[in-house]
């Protein structure tokens, strides 16, 4: 499981002209990719890491600051570009496997008390963010 976590002052996701998820205060925008070998146990570990990741201002985490997260599924994080000019997606989990695992990460975060907004799995989404810093890290479990 792989995530790109960006510290943002605000972020939103729009699908077909409608905002489907937004955070209007400092927090994390999380682009989340699911690998073919991922499982629910990894979802729990990823949720804990994201919630406790100390990249907000003053080395705070979403857990300590009560900051929200916007989680957006992003299968392209497992695009392999080593050969040729066209990425290979063989390491990205199929939608029927990936969607429940994205939902599991979100549920784990909410179970930890986090405020979580989301995109729409599989939809063509317009993601907007105002990066703070910018401060962006890759998180893998």
Query: Catalytic residues, which ones?
Result: 74-76
Sign of CA dihedral 40, 45, 46, 48: positive
Cα 8 off chain centre by = 13
Report d(CA 121, CA 104) in Å as an integer. Answer: 13
What is the CB neighbour count within 10 angstroms for residue 72?
Answer: 23
């Amino acid at each position: 499981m792989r995530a790109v976590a960006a510290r943002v002052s605000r972020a939103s996701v729009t699908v077909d002209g409608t905002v489907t998820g937004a955070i209007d205060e400092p927090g994390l925008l999380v682009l989340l990719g699911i690998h073919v070998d991922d499982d629910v146990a990894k979802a729990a570990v990823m949720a804990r890491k994201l919630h406790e990741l100390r990249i907000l201002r003053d080395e705070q985490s979403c857990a300590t600051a009560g900051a929200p997260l916007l989680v957006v599924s992003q299968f392209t994080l497992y695009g392999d570009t080593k050969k040729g000019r066209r990425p290979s997606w063989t390491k990205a989990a199929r939608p029927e496997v990936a969607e429940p695992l994205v939902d599991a990460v979100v549920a784990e975060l909410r179970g930890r008390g986090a405020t979580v907004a989301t995109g729409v799995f599989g939809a063509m989404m317009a993601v907007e963010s105002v990066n703070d810093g910018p401060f962006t890290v890759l998180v893998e479990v």
